[in-house]
Amino acid sequence: MRVLSEALELIKAGLAKNQYYKIMNYVYKEAFSDYYMIHFPFYQNDTDDLLQGQKNLTNVCLSLLPSLHDKRVLEVGCGNGVQTLYIKEKYRPSLMVGLDIHEENIKLAESLRDNNGHQNVEFLVSDAQEMAGVESSSFDIIVNIESAMHYPEKDRFFSEIFRILKPGGSYVIADILSKVEHKNIFFRWLERRLDQSYWPLDSYIKGLSRAGLSIDMKKDITSDVLKGFELSSNWFANYTGSGKLRKSLITLFAKIQIAKHKYYLRNFSRYLIFVGKKNSGRQDSINERIIQMGS
């Protein structure tokens, strides 16, 4: 009976935004006795497991930024905080703040921080499109990994980055962008259910520029992420959960999610990293270089 209700939860979660990240946390904890980051893996080695693939993605994004050491760093859309704590430990900012719209994620992040005795790490519940409670010009670096595809009002998010960064401060955004306008009815319905709002590249470039943010680099990592998914058959070798039926359900749920993500990345979307700075003036004209980047 319990397994049946878990099966129903998994099916609902696959189709609903509010449940999705809660269930992902449950799946990680059940499958691996630990919480993992909530983003796609980036391929580096055949032996990488899921968590290592996820760390690779974080490292690739942060390697494009100036050093985080002794800086004030804000992670927007921080999920369960696993990535936030990883950044704090590996990159040694003086202050690390994680912000997410879901209170449940933030409670989990705070408990992981407290259990591991991390200092100078704070979490808050807030919306990326209006980061109430975050002071203007208060951070050196803003990190945003695989969250912005949930923001319908990206212009407001970009303006908030501009407001919150110190002059000359840097940002990295890793996001999934749309590469085709027309999807079939099922995928349009699924995107609405999961609160996904993919922007095409030209809108992204214009939006960042309008907000007064430079784009110093953009990197397409679609093929590295797809290759990361190729290792997914190995991920469940580390399965630690109990019960054969539960294991089958969780494995099936994971396989459906992986197949969906791969199909999307192959057919409808692309995975990009943008890195840039807060310009000294707002409403900068879109310069030649940026127009070329969009082509």
What is the per-residue DSSP string for 44-59?
Answer: S-TT--HHHHHHHHHH
Stretch that binds ligand SAM, among 3-11, 100-108, 200-208, 251-259 (CB under 6 A): 100-108
Query: For ligand SAM, which is the closer residue by CB, 7 or 60?
Result: 60
Query: For ligand SAM, which is the closer residue by CB, 39 or 277?
Result: 39
Among 56, 129, 196, 269, binds ligand SAM (CB under 6 A): 129
Stretch that binds ligand SAM, among 33-41, 62-70, 265-273, 282-290 (CB under 6 A): 33-41
What is the per-residue DSSP string for 198-260?
Answer: PPPHHHHHHHHHHTTB---EEEE-HHHHHHHHHTHHHHGGG---S-HHHHHHHHHHHHHHHHH
Q: Report if residue 161 touches ligand SAM, rule: CB under 6 A.
A: no
Residue 69: both structure tokens together = 């050491």
Place of tokens 């962008």: 177
Stretch that binds ligand SAM, among 99-107, 111-119, 232-240, 262-270 (CB under 6 A): 99-107
Q: Which helix (H) or strand (E) holds 17?
A: helix 17-32
Q: SS3 of 42, please?
A: coil
Among 83, 209, 232, 257, binds ligand SAM (CB under 6 A): 83
Q: Report if residue 97 touches ligand SAM, rule: CB under 6 A.
A: no
CA dihedral of 57, 62, 68, 74, whole degrees rounded to 10: -70
Residue closest to ligand SAM when measured from CB atoms: 79
Q: SS3 of 153, please?
A: coil
Contact 81, 113 (CB under 8 A): yes
Question: Nearest approach, Cβ of 159 to ligand SAM (angstroms)?
Answer: 14
Q: Report if residue 102 touches ligand SAM, rule: CB under 6 A.
A: yes
Q: Report if residue 32 touches ligand SAM, rule: CB under 6 A.
A: no
Stretch that binds ligand SAM, among 35-43, 86-94, 234-242, 279-287 (CB under 6 A): 35-43
Among 105, 170, 196, 209, binds ligand SAM (CB under 6 A): 105
Cα–Cα distance measured from residue 184 to residue 209, given in angstroms and rounded to the nearest whole number: 31
Among 56, 147, 214, 232, binds ligand SAM (CB under 6 A): 147
Cα–Cα distance measured from residue 171 to residue 208, given in angstroms and rounded to the nearest whole number: 11
Residues near ligand SAM (CB under 6 A) are 21, 37-39, 77-79, 83, 100-102, 105, 127-129, 145-147, 150-151
